[in-house]
Amino acid sequence: MARIPCDQETLADRHGPHLAFEPPGGFAQRREPDRKVETHCCFCGQQCGIKLLVAEEKVVGIEPWEEFPFNQGKLCPKGIKRYLLNNHADRITSPLLRRDGGFVPIGWDQALNTVADRFAKLQSDHGRDSVAVLSGASLTNEKAYLMGKFARVALGTRHIDYNGRLCMVAAGAANLRAFGMDRAANPWSDIAETDLVFVTGSNVSECSPITTDYIWRARDRGARLVVVDPRLTPIARTADLYLPVKPGTDVALMNAILHVVLEMGGQDSDFIEAHTVGFDEVRSAVRDYAPERIEQLVGVPAARIRQAAELWTGAEKTMLLHARGIEHHTKGVDNVLSCINLVLATGQIGKPGCGYASITGQGNGQGAREHGQRCNQLPGARDIENPEHRAHIADFWGIDEQELPIKGATSPEIIGLAHRREVRGMLSICYNPLVSLPDARFTREALERLDFFVAIDFFMSETAQHADLILPGSLQEEDEGTVTSTEGRVLHIRKAVEPPEGARTDWRIVCDIAARLDCGEKFGFESPREIFDELRAASAGGKADYYGISYERIDREMGVFWPCPTAEHPGTPRLFEGGVFAHPDQRARFAAVEYRPSADPLDESYPIYLTTGRVVSQFLSGNQTRRIGPLVEQCPEPYVEIHPALASRYSISEGERVRLRSRRDSIELTARVVSTLRPDTVFVPYHWPGALSINRLTHRSFDPVAGIPEFKVSAVQLEKCP
């Protein structure tokens, strides 16, 4: 069983996180760089251009890459300090085998043979699907493609999914339903050219800071700004109109805005008639959402709802942006569709300065959801349940279609299968579910019930502490590949340095395991470029068609927007021009959606909304950023934001310790008494493990379509610690 081999304090002392404040040898001893490598930040989906400074085969600093068009040299704190990960003292530099009292180093041959032997035995005893793969949305496109092929061809399991299940899948499912394609409809340059920016559920300034620059550029041109969020985030403080929506009521609010738009006659009837289907059902659905009727439900005065509609219809060009704030719900797909309904009803898409986008969160949040590592997907954004798609990819991989596994479980469902011991073995890469998933106690129990668990990682994450075997992988700058940014722009990750001695590139590890599973002939890659060439060919003819993209072309053009089916194709920065959508009839789909309450409702015992999110200095589960000293200094630990009115009710003062309790667990935190959120809501950032993990309190409730957890609404009680 995959239990940690010793106490947490011992593991932390041996494997971190320890804090790095300076490059190898310190700033005083830092040599002039031997070379500067133009590449991209390893963190969020903005994928900002960056120059890594290399001296004596070590990354020792960064410089702005001002020529790269997306960020033009601008970086957030994480981008500025990310170089401190290279040559970090916590790096794992040999395979580690769990033993009583800790982990011991072993050789690579023994490690790889152990993985293959244990997985083969489990599958022989319990069936192919007794082994599962958890992958990550910060992997390159090459590795994302490789993981999907590895799971389905080498392991023959249907159970592979990725941590983007916790991030962008609600938007992806809604995009597919509405547009027939899952990608931001516009390049970010269109934001700067719009007349109204409508931001809902996105703390832009902290979670995607460079997007703020595009909004400011639009503002400099006179554009108006509307922000919807339970918190008065930094971007909301600059808005022309701020709507402090009650957590979990986004559908009702967006339906009310559309109600007013139609009441005013603000729809684009010509666009609706020529380019869409389903409008009559939506018009009927929103009739019951008059602002005066639902203002108490959503917590926003009717007059403000009407003002939002007036601003939207009064602007010649509009851009709607959203992120996890509306997606992390049991009705996340419906929330997104309600936003798309507004865009379609007014014809604000497919034109310069007009459109819609979900701001992706993870480093390859776009590309990693396109090439086959999702439970329901095959390369090129193909559907694993579509017979034609299955036949195409099976033929491409040289296997019988009957051998290609069917749709598997989502990553939270895989944890549930492990908890029930239906999944006995697991391989994870680039995923830290013990911190990331809701109800951390349940996740820990599931990990402890595995018969064999192997993790590929460069640092020992909290999840990897439970592994039977840890295989030391590579940082982004230690390998080559591609990623796809939030805009849909495919970018080149250039290799800056080699992995440290004893570690290996991730793709090589996976191919070596495949060879030991008697699948070496299908995984005989010698470089990431060879994997990308296979990915390109596999994607040809699919929705996410990369066939016309090459490393050389990316370098020449500083990125290529997919779809790009041929070398002569210019790429597609703006989708749906001329009202041509990706469904077979080329029409977009409206979707009538209704308000549904949260799966964790308030009551007398749990009367307060808990919502969670990020801070600017940390990233996701923190396995990387909690090792960078200057970032940790900005925010050493989580806290709870409490409105002064709520704090007064519980006699809580700034800096006091308080306890939050949900129906699952409790946590003690330091109070920050702020006026920048609703009085019925508390906020806690989620980047920390163990006793500081807010996901001890969140609940395992999921969107029925996308499988995304409801992180943004949990019912809690609040008390001051004695």
| Residue pLDDT, tens place only, 228-262 | 999 999 999 999 999 999 999 999 999 999 999 99
Q: What pLDDT shows up at residue 23?
A: 84
Question: For 185-358, CATH number?
Answer: 3.40.228.10
267: left (phi over 0), alpha (psi -120 to 50) or beta: beta
Residue 438 has pLDDT above 90, yes or no: yes
Instruction: Report how far residue 505's alpha carbon sits from residue 528's, in angstroms, rounded to the nearest whole number.
Output: 10
Distances (CA, A) of 111 to 116, 453, 457, 509: 9, 12, 14, 10
Instruction: Report how far residue 229's alpha carbon sits from residue 239's, in angstroms, rounded to the nearest whole number.
Output: 12
Q: How much of the chain exceeds pLDDT 70, in percent?
A: 100
Q: Name which residue leads in pLDDT, 30 or 289.
A: 289
Please compute Rg for the chain using Cα positions.
24
Q: What is the mean pLDDT of residues 485-509?
A: 98
Domain boundaries, the chain: 8-85, 96-163+364-575, 185-358, 608-720
Q: What is the mean pLDDT of residues 121-140?
A: 98
Instruction: Report how far residue 84's alpha carbon sits from residue 86's, in angstroms, rounded to the nearest whole number.
Output: 5
404: DSSP letter: S
Q: Is domain 8-85 classified as CATH 2.20.25.90?
A: yes
Residue 25 has pLDDT above 90, yes or no: no
Residue 222 has pLDDT above 80, yes or no: yes
Instruction: Report how far residue 385's alpha carbon sits from residue 405's, in angstroms, rounded to the nearest whole number.
Output: 10
Q: What pLDDT shows up at residue 666?
A: 98
Instruction: Report how far residue 482's alpha carbon sits from residue 500's, in angstroms, rounded to the nearest whole number.
Output: 22
CA-CA-CA-CA torsion sign (174, 339, 366, 441): negative
Q: What pLDDT shows up at residue 92?
A: 98
| pTM, entire model | 0.97
φ, ψ for residue 375, nearest 5 deg: -65, -20
Topology at the third CATH level for domain 96-163+364-575? Rossmann fold (3.40.50)
Q: Return the number of other C-beta atoms located less than 10 Å from residue 578's C-beta.
A: 10
Angle between helices 291-298 and 250-263 (to 10 degrees): 160
Residue 24 has pLDDT above 90, yes or no: no
Residue 349 has pLDDT above 80, yes or no: yes
Q: What is the mean pLDDT of residues 513-524?
A: 98
Q: Is 398 exposed, middle or buried (0-12, 13-18, 19+ CB in 10 A)?
A: exposed
* Beta bridge partner(s), residue 482: 492
Distances (CA, A) of 70 to 493, 601, 627: 15, 41, 27
Q: What pLDDT shows up at residue 680?
A: 98
Residue 639 has pLDDT above 90, yes or no: yes
Residue 121 has pLDDT above 90, yes or no: yes
Q: What pLDDT shows up at residue 331?
A: 98
Same fold, 8-85 and 96-163+364-575: no
Q: What pLDDT shows up at residue 496?
A: 98
Question: For 608-720, CATH number?
Answer: 2.40.40.20
Q: What pLDDT shows up at residue 307?
A: 98
Q: What pLDDT shows up at residue 264?
A: 98
Q: What is the mean pLDDT of residues 211-218?
A: 98
Q: What pLDDT shows up at residue 258?
A: 98
- pLDDT bin (cut points 50, 70, 90) of residue 661 is very high
The mean pLDDT value of the chain amounts to 97
Q: What pLDDT shows up at residue 452?
A: 98
- pLDDT bin (cut points 50, 70, 90) of residue 2 is confident
